Structure 1
């Protein structure tokens, strides 16, 4: 199964397929993998499937990281076919391990709902990122909670949108950089400026992504 894979000059780690969202634009609805994986040539050609047979253990994750030459990459990214904060504490331990062997910048791509997923406060969740992550990228996707429910279909409803903004504002105290991302197709162009204002007023900057 594919635990790590490459996109551009980044090394990505795929820890879980669980997610609290069912986004209408999600790439995993369209295809089984992105980038190139360690098993890609053997099983799936240019792409390795990111659907896991089971969730890898922390030991398996660390072994996979050890097998990679981190000097080849410009960043290490927790991002796969699921929301990585479902494995919040294993993710933290894996990030700590990477910090012991490399100075590669570490990013996490998240829906920002770590506190809701793990039943802890936003402050408790945000503090865990201190000293372990260089960039937290949060999927904002819409300028209103009503639109978020339609596009991202979170199990937490509109609370997910409010929670991700609160998390971004708080985690910005603990990490060097917070990015809020929007997929261009999910919001009308006139709403992108509203998203930018939301990002900047909640400790981050806006990144507009093109659909995969």
Structure 2
């Protein structure tokens, strides 16, 4: 069986689908409703791609096809930081042939996933990070995202966001627009208190 799409175009960005693993099972997750996004045929992976495979596909788009993109983003049908070492290797490789900014879209649970501090490992590696907050309290987060790490997930996300802004220049928190306006505003306050940008997606 052919493996799923590992690099795909969506909007003005080039996306990297590194893994389908994720410690969350969010009610709103797009993978509950479709197998594809952008120009991807299928984002379900039979096997996870190597760093070399990903770099080869990105080179093909950027250097051979001369595809114009604004940004290169780690975001597929899983949590990218499940494969933190590959993110680091791929990002360093990308910087050898393009100056396009590199971003990670993450649930902010890298420390819980790897059972260690991880934010410092991304210094000089990626240019931006977007952390999915999606709820203003631990209880609401658990009800919406069903994290395998339970209620400690919420505080871990806030701590990781606080840490990552020391090492990455562009950090934002985001929420899905399906939550209530009251919860959106509470989440906005959390982002402001952490000193990072905020976006409703």
How high is the TM-score relative to the length of structure 2?
Answer: 0.94
1:6 to 4, 9, 19: 9
- Which residue of structure 2 aligns with residue 191 of structure 1? 183
2:90 aligned with 1:94: yes
Question: By how many angstroms is 1:81 displaced?
Answer: 0.2
Which residue of 165, 183, 201 corresponds with 2:193?
Answer: 201
1:167 aligns with one of 160, 165, 177: 160
Shift of 1:133: 1.1
Structure 1 residue 129 and structure 2 residue 122: aligned? yes
Which position in structure 1 is the counterpart of 2:72?
Answer: 76
Maintained 8 Å contact 1:166/1:202: no
TM superposition outliers: structure 1 runs of 4+ over 3 Å: none
What is the deviation of 1:202?
1.6
Correspondence 1:180 to 2:173: yes
Deviates more, 1:194-203 or 1:135-144: 194-203
Unmatched 5+ stretches in structure 1: 38-47
Q: 1:41-85 CA deviation, whole Å, 9 max, x = no partner?
A: xxxxxxx11001111112211211221126611000000000001
SS of match in other structure, 1:104: coil
Cα RMSD between the aligned structures? 1.1
Answering whether residue 44 of structure 2 is matched by residue 51 of structure 1, we say: yes
SS in 1 for 2:171: strand
Secondary structure class of the residue paired with 2:34: coil
Structure 2 stretches of 5 or more lacking a match? none
Mapped partners of 2:37, 2:163: distance in 1: 31
Give me the whole-angstrom Cα distance separating, in 1, the residues matched to 2:29 and 2:23: 13
- 2:147 corresponds to: 154
Q: Deviations over 1:86-144 (max 9, x none)?
A: 100111110111111111011100000001101112xxx11111111111000000011
